[in-house]
Every structure is written in structure tokens, then in C-alpha cells.
Chains A and B, each alone.
Chain A
Amino acid sequence: MTKQPILDVRGLTMDFGGIRALNSLDLDVTSGEIVALIGPNGAGKTTFFNCITGIYTPTEGNIWLTPPGGKKKISLNGLKPNQVTEKGLARTFQNIRLFSKMTVLENVMIGRHCRTKAFIFGAIFRTKATLQEEQDILQSSYAILEKVGMADFADEFADNLPYGAQRRLEIARALATEPLLLLLDEPAAGMNPQETQSLEHLIKQISMEGQAILLIEHDMKLVMSLSDRIFVMDYGKKIAQGTPLEIRENPAVIKAYLGEEVDA
């Protein structure tokens, strides 16, 4: 496996008026690895996601995406969210954003949207190509549901699902876009221990299939057991990076999370 990073972010800066939410941030993800982005609340983790997925336009900095197989790297700067997804970054949301009045299967089928192309003409006349494409969408969506263990819920409305399953569906939907890199924004938020455990299992399984994952998470147990590398942010800056072991002992990280020792 080449050591070339899939995602390469250099000097990413984001200002909201006078507030610098991200300050010259560097981050890279290599293919096949799970990278975690952690930091206290308000550190700018979700802002970072929003910047690289095109929801915000960063003030400065470069975002590069490199497809595997020695292809040329693509700049994601200035692309719209849908274009970013097309290039190969798919994300989930911190607060679940499913299409609640659509079935589970349809939610995943939406993920296939950017990899298919039937349009008005095909929809009305149901040409052979369109029918074939619909079949493919159905099959691959169903396969993804099976992979995340939700095939039994296929015809259920998304908002009827239990919380943990909704999180899973978000992951399934993102996977359906065939991402080079999967971005998970606090996938374990609000989950009970059992749900977290099964999520951990799922993420590991996806990762085993070679999927690169960038993960924002507060659950330290989950982060430590899953990630190959960890980036720590505080006040929009990267304060540390390294393996879970290194991070655990890093004084700057401890300071950010627990505060400084004060002389009594």
C-alpha cells in the first residue's frame, strides 16, 4: 500500500467575522487508516468537516484529495458540497439528518444519486439504460444495507428507526456514495454502551474492507481502540498528533481536556 495521503489539508483557516474558528490546520489521512479528530467542545472539529465538505468556504488553505492508483490529486477548494461528495468525500452529521419521510432503502438509494445519471428523459420513457441503472441502484443499496445489518428495516420509514439504527443508516447512506474517505461526525453521540460497541464493530468492519475513515468523536474509549492516528484540536489549532499511545501521554492534550494545574 502506498503511503500517499488520500486527504491532504494544508494551512486551513476559517474566520467567522473576528473569530478564527480554524487556525492554519494541517491534517492528512492515508488510505485504509482510521484517523480520529478530537478536542474539547467548540474546538472547531465540526467546522473543519464543514470546510472540507464545502458547506463553508475556508478563508485560507488548501484541501487536496488523491484517488488511489497514482492518479492526480484534486483540489477541493471552492467546490460545492455535492461536488465534494462526487469527488469522494462522504460525511455523516452530528445531529442526524436523515430523510425522515423516505424509507430506509430509499435513503441509501439517494446516496447512489451522484454515481448515476438518469434524468428527465430517462425517467419518463424508462429507457433500457434507465431501467438497468435503477436495478443497479436497488441492488447496491440493498447490499449496503445488508453490510450494515439493516436489510430487515429496508421498507421502514427512517424516522421510525431507533436512535442507534438511524446513526447506522447515516453511515450506510454515506457509504453508498462510494467515498474515498468517509467522514463520521460523532457517530457514537447519545448511544448507550451496547450501541457504541456494535458501532465500533461496524466501523472496524468497514475499515477492514479498505475504507479510509476520518472520525470526530468524544467517546475516548472508542477513539483509542479504533484509530490508527489521532489529531487533537483546541481553539481551532492542532495541539497534538500521533498514535493513541502518544496522545494519551501528551501534556498539551491533558491540559486541553483537564485544564492546567494551579498552585494552591
Chain B
Amino acid sequence: MGIVKELKKGALISLWFVFLTFPVMVIKVDPIARTVVWRWENALYMAVGTFVVYYIAQFFLKKKENQKEASEEKGLNHSIIHKILQNPLQRNIFVGVLAVAAVLFPQVLSAYQTNVMTTALMYVVLGLGLNIVVGLAGLLDLGFVAFYAVGAYTYALLNHHFGLGFFTVLPIGGLMAATFGILLGFPVLRLRGDYLAIVTLGFGEIIRLVLENWGEFSQGPSGISDISRPGFFGVDFDLQSSIIYTYYLMIILVIVTIFVVNRLQDSRLGRAWIALREDEVACQAMGIDKRKTKLVAFSLGAFWAGIMGVMFAAKTTFVNPASFTFLESAIILSIVVLGGMGSIVGVVLGALILILMPEYLRALSQYRMLAFGAILVCMMIFRPQGLISNIRRTYTFKKKTTNSLSK
């Protein structure tokens, strides 16, 4: 009985998909030859394909339900990476291998690959920044790219008008973005969930539109070009070594970010953020200043976006408003969600996957957004907690002295 029902459901779903994709897959209009080709075989492929995919999905869903029951009995299910990170020896080996790979990367692979990796690393930092706001403090921010833009334009303008160098502007860009974070934070203090998302979305668009339309200030849509690359004590690099230099710089920034974000997360402030995410009313009743905690989350998140904005401007030597569309915000948010909200390892992994995959699957670039959507939908169904869910820190307690074990 159950099987017949399932079969019926599968058939219905594949029929629906055939109907949905009918105009695209079946009808082909050739405007030059003035003919209409009916590709009925495509409808058949679609039907069979959907049918199979549906059952595969069903299979995994069932498996997941069974697993859930099993893991609830065992308690927490730790992922492999967590196991590695919890064992000090394995962790050191893991980190060592990563470090060697990171150092050798530009020596072994081409400048193109290095450049792609640099971009991916930038998104790692952006993801970690947004992770403070979304993952820890639970404030859904859809306009994160605005802070990225603020950082980028800070460097672009200061470099263009005053000739300030990369390292001078790096902290300025970060602080500038953090200031904007507070500016955005104030009006949205009372908002939560959907309303917050809408306002931040609007904020992101405002920044972009201002940059696009205020010609005297930002040179409008044509953008600012000829921005200096990161300097190194006045040494002039050729393009090749500049790319490698930028890469190493990015590695250092990623390490610093991970270090700082990790410490923030494991502090009194980090606890307050998570409490704020869990229950705002109870959080306040426990004496946490909601306003201050939120503002700090916004500004610290924005700070990293600002730093990365400066990096972006220096790396591409050109900025224009088109680089800071809502799509960027969506990608950064996807990184956080895909990787696992609140999990540093997860966000790093999420960024690498989401940014590197499209680069290496360029052949399928037409379907990029399609695949992107499909991945996110699948993630939400099969692993809503992200690739690597955050395991809360536990504290071991010995008599009167305490030793805290990081995850």
C-alpha cells in the first residue's frame, strides 16, 4: 500500500516538473529559420530524472530520520572535524598540514589559482564577520555588503585623493565600517527577525545607490580605478609577485580573524551574544544590556567587512558600485548558513566551498545560480544546522582551579 502511494506521489511530482519546465525544455523557437522544434524527448528525460531524484531524496530523508533517533540515544553527534580538533595531537597535525599547504600553494600553483584562493580567503573573513552578527547574536543582516562597500570606498577615496597607502587605510576602513555598523544598529535595535532583515536589506541598497548616484563623491557607476596594490616597504612588485604577496597577506588576515573571533566567541561577550540569540527577554532580565550587546555585534561584524573592503579595493585596483549588490550579501549569508551558524570551522569550509566551486565548475557557469539554490535547499532539508554545527564549549572543573577545554 505504502509503495503504491509513494509511486503515485513520485509520478505526480515528475509530471508537475515536466509541466513546469515545458516551455524551456520542450519548445525551441528558431527565430531565423522561423521554425518551432518540439523536443518531446526532453520531457521524457525530465520526467524520469525527477522521478529518480525524488526517490533518492526520499531515501536520504528516511535515513536522516533514522539517524536522528540513533544520535538522540547516543547524545550529541560529533563530526569528524570536531573529533580531530578535540584531540590535541591530531589537531596539531591537521593545522600543520594546512599551514604547509597554505604556504606552498602559490609556489606550486599558478597565479590564477592563487588569485582565486585569495578571493576565497576574503570570503572566509567576510563570513566570519557576518557570523558574529547572524551566527552568534542571531541578528539576520541582509545588507552586510554595505560595510564591505564602505571599506572598499574608504580605501579607494583616500588613496585617490590623498595617496594614502594600504596599511594606513586598513584599520581606518575597518573602523569606518564599524562606525557605519553602529549607525545602522541604532535604528534597528528594537527590530527582530523579518523586520530586521528588511531594514538591513534596505540599508545595503541605500549605500549602493548613494555610491552609484553621488557622482562628485564616488565617481558614480564608472567607479574609481588605479588604486594602489598593497605595498611592502616601498618595494615595487610586478603583477605576478603582487598576487602572491596579496595571497600571503590574506592568509595572515584570515589567521588574525580566526584568532580574534574565536576569542570573542569564548568570552563573556560571546556568551552574551548567544544568550541574546536564544532569548532576548530573558537575556535582559539577566542583566545584559541588549542595546550595547547588539551594537557591539553589529560594529564588530562590520569591522571585518570593512577590512575586507580595503583588501578588495587593493586587490582589484578598481571599485564600482556594481561589486556591492544584494547578491554579494546573499552569498556571504549563504556561507554562514551553509557552513554552520556560529561555527568558525564551518564558516571557513562554507566559504571555500561556495567560492571555489563556481570557479572550478566554470563549464557549468550558466547553471551556477541554479546549483547554488539547489545546494541551499538540500542543505535546509538534510542538514539545517550547516556543514559543521557549532558545539558549545564545555568547561572542566577541578576543585578550586579550573581548566577550560576549548572545543
CA of A116 to CA of B267 in the docked complex: distance in angstroms? 12
What residues make up the interface of B, taking CB atoms closer than 8 Å to A?
260, 263-264, 267-272, 274-275, 278-279, 281-290, 296, 300, 392-395, 397, 400-402, 404
CA of A97 to CA of B276 in the docked complex: distance in angstroms? 12
Q: What does the 1/0 interface line of A90-131 toward B look like (CB < 8 Å)?
A: 110100011111110110011101111011101110100010
Q: What are 21 A-B interface contacts by the 8 Å CB criterion?
A: A82-B285, A86-B287, A90-B285, A90-B286, A99-B279, A100-B279, A101-B392, A103-B393, A109-B271, A110-B271, A113-B272, A113-B286, A113-B287, A116-B268, A120-B264, A120-B269, A120-B296, A124-B264, A134-B404, A138-B397, A155-B395
B269 in contact with A154 (CB, 8 Å): no
Which single member of A82, A105, A106, A142 contacts B290 (CB below 8 Å)? A82
The closest CB in chain B to the CB of A81 belongs to B284
A112 → chain B closest CB, angstroms: 8
A248 → chain B closest CB, angstroms: 33
Chain A residues near B296 (CB-CB < 8 A): 120
Q: Considering the complex of A and B, which 8 residue pairs feature the smallest CB-CB distances, nearest first?
A: A114-B287, A123-B267, A85-B287, A97-B282, A99-B278, A81-B284, A155-B394, A138-B402
B284 in contact with A80 (CB, 8 Å): yes
A118 in contact with B268 (CB, 8 Å): yes
Q: A113-B287, A124-B263 are in contact. Are A55 and B397 (CB under 8 A)?
A: no
A113 in contact with B402 (CB, 8 Å): no
The yes or no answer to A63 lying at the interface (CB within 8 A) is no
B39 → chain A closest CB, angstroms: 51
A119 in contact with B269 (CB, 8 Å): yes
The closest CB in chain A to the CB of B296 belongs to A120
A189 → chain B closest CB, angstroms: 16
The yes or no answer to A36 lying at the interface (CB within 8 A) is no
Which single member of B270, B278, B287, B397 contacts A177 (CB below 8 Å)? B287
B276 → chain A closest CB, angstroms: 9
Which single member of B260, B281, B394 contacts A124 (CB below 8 Å)? B260
CA of A126 to CA of B264 in the docked complex: distance in angstroms? 10
Contacts A93-B281, A110-B288 known; 20 new A-B pairs at CB < 8 A: A55-B281, A80-B290, A82-B284, A85-B286, A97-B279, A99-B274, A105-B394, A109-B271, A110-B275, A110-B283, A113-B288, A123-B267, A124-B260, A138-B395, A139-B402, A154-B395, A154-B397, A155-B394, A173-B286, A177-B286
A101 in contact with B278 (CB, 8 Å): yes
The yes or no answer to A157 lying at the interface (CB within 8 A) is yes
The yes or no answer to A6 lying at the interface (CB within 8 A) is no
B297 → chain A closest CB, angstroms: 11
CA of A102 to CA of B393 in the docked complex: distance in angstroms? 9
B284 in contact with A123 (CB, 8 Å): no
Chain A residues near B263 (CB-CB < 8 A): 123-124, 126
Chain B residues near A110 (CB-CB < 8 A): 271-272, 275, 283, 286, 288
B392 in contact with A111 (CB, 8 Å): no
A102 → chain B closest CB, angstroms: 6
A82 in contact with B271 (CB, 8 Å): no
Chain A residues near B278 (CB-CB < 8 A): 98-102
Chain A residues near B260 (CB-CB < 8 A): 124
CA of A55 to CA of B264 in the docked complex: distance in angstroms? 29
CA of A80 to CA of B283 in the docked complex: distance in angstroms? 12
A82 in contact with B289 (CB, 8 Å): yes
Chain B residues near A55 (CB-CB < 8 A): 281, 284-285
CA of A105 to CA of B404 in the docked complex: distance in angstroms? 12
Chain A residues near B289 (CB-CB < 8 A): 80, 82
The yes or no answer to A53 lying at the interface (CB within 8 A) is yes
CA of A177 to CA of B275 in the docked complex: distance in angstroms? 15
A113 in contact with B268 (CB, 8 Å): yes
CA of A102 to CA of B283 in the docked complex: distance in angstroms? 12
The closest CB in chain B to the CB of A85 belongs to B287
CA of A100 to CA of B300 in the docked complex: distance in angstroms? 25
Q: A99-B278, A135-B402, A142-B397 are in contact. Are A123 and B264 (CB under 8 A)?
A: yes
Q: What does the 1/0 interface line of A16-35 toward B look like (CB < 8 Å)?
A: 00000000000000000000
Q: A138-B402, A155-B394 are in contact. Are A102 and B286 (CB under 8 A)?
A: no
Chain B residues near A91 (CB-CB < 8 A): 285
A102 in contact with B268 (CB, 8 Å): no
CA of A89 to CA of B362 in the docked complex: distance in angstroms? 61
Chain A residues near B288 (CB-CB < 8 A): 82, 110, 113-114
The closest CB in chain B to the CB of A55 belongs to B281
The yes or no answer to A199 lying at the interface (CB within 8 A) is no
A85 in contact with B275 (CB, 8 Å): no
CA of A174 to CA of B285 in the docked complex: distance in angstroms? 9
A103 in contact with B402 (CB, 8 Å): no
Chain B residues near A157 (CB-CB < 8 A): 392
A137 in contact with B269 (CB, 8 Å): no
The closest CB in chain B to the CB of A111 belongs to B286
A106 in contact with B268 (CB, 8 Å): no
B285 in contact with A102 (CB, 8 Å): no
A192 → chain B closest CB, angstroms: 24
Which single member of B394, B401, B404 contacts A103 (CB below 8 Å)? B394
Q: What does the 1/0 interface line of A68-94 toward B look like (CB < 8 Å)?
A: 000000000000111001100011010
B178 → chain A closest CB, angstroms: 11
The closest CB in chain A to the CB of B402 belongs to A138
Chain A residues near B279 (CB-CB < 8 A): 97-100
CA of A210 to CA of B269 in the docked complex: distance in angstroms? 31
Chain B residues near A120 (CB-CB < 8 A): 264, 269, 296, 300
A82 in contact with B397 (CB, 8 Å): no
